[in-house]
A = this chain, B = another copy of it.
């Protein structure tokens, strides 16, 4: 099963494509789409096209996004909503089901902690998937893809053990950076 995780934004939109192949999680592609400084409508049309290309390139089976956005101002919610609407439309247009997960659920599934900070998300992307997601948006997108795979596709015991080991190896770094555990 191949899942595209999206962290929507009209200036920076993170994406991460993750495959569960037997007991392994494997990142196929991750990055940040940057539509540039043009008019909002042009940036949204760019995202629509680019996300459609990512879906087609990897023959994704499903799309996963974060669900709730508490603590946003109305203005920020509107801005986020615009990019989010385009991401959802890109998925449905390609016939893919969309799954939504709360931010804390995504962080817990990815790092083991529902309060993980950006640095920890990036380190987990490296440890779990071997991806240098130097950009936090890409790590967040990988995380929401992994969250769906963890929820929908029960991991074999070997994969669960490997993931636990990868997380355990991160602990000292987590403390050094003051991230939540």
Contact = CB atoms under 8 A, between A and B. Distances in A.
Given A39-B98, A92-B39, A44 B81 contact: no
Main secondary structure of the interface of A (DSSP, over half): helix
A2 B52 CA distance: 30
A1 B82 CA distance: 27
A84 B86 contact: no
A89 B84 CA distance: 12
A86 to B, nearest CB: 5
A79 B88 CA distance: 12
Contacts of A72: 74, 78
Interface size class of A (residues with CB under 8 A): 35 or more
Interface in A36-74: 39-42, 44-45, 47-49, 63, 69-70, 72-74
12 contacts: A41-B89, A41-B91, A42-B92, A44-B89, A45-B92, A47-B89, A48-B89, A78-B78, A81-B82, A82-B88, A85-B85, A85-B86
Closest 9 CB pairs of A and B: A81-B81, A82-B85, A45-B92, A85-B85, A41-B92, A41-B88, A77-B77, A44-B89, A74-B77
